[in-house]
Amino acid sequence: AQSVTQLGSHVSVSEGALVLLRCNYSSSVPPYLFWYVQYPNQGLQLLLKYTTGATLVKGINGFEAEFKKSETSFHLTKPSAHMSDAAEYFCAVSEWETSGSRLTFGEGTQLTVNP
């Protein structure tokens, strides 16, 4: 079964600083990878996804992520943090079973942006 590890349950940055949220996965097959964002008491919103092709993926709100197969990583970055980026971020990997597809999520990283 696939698994996802997000390094750092809490990350704090200053407004305008680089945001780097780390995600490593394990998968026995080429993975499809996702980053979701969750604001307090809300559902998850898809930020970006990697399926095939270009390994640098751009998403919404200025975020991007790079798929590195050799490192089994899919880290999320944003050059300049904004106060509105404060939220919880989840990395996920897809998994296909005979009963259908499912996502396996990491435990999440809470991003705090300081003024």
Among 14, 26, 51, 112, binds another protein (CB under 8 A): 51
Q: Which long-range contacts (CB under 8 A, 24 or more apart) does 103-108 make?
A: 103/34, 104/1, 104/2, 104/3, 104/4, 105/4, 105/36, 106/4, 106/5, 106/6, 106/23, 107/6, 107/9, 108/6, 108/9, 108/38
Stretch that binds another protein, among 12-20, 56-64, 79-87, 106-114 (CB under 8 A): 106-114
Q: How many residues bind another protein (CB under 8 A)?
A: 24
User: Which of 28, 29, 41, 54 contacts another protein by CB under 8 A?
Assistant: 41
According to CB under 8 A, which one of 14, 26, 45, 55 is a site residue for another protein? Answer: 45
Among 76, 106, 111, 113, binds another protein (CB under 8 A): 106
Token pair recorded at residue 56: 């640098």
- Other residues' Cβ atoms within 10 Å of the Cβ of residue 46: 12
The residues binding another protein (CB under 8 A) are 9, 32, 34, 36, 41-46, 49, 51, 90, 94, 96, 99-103, 105-108
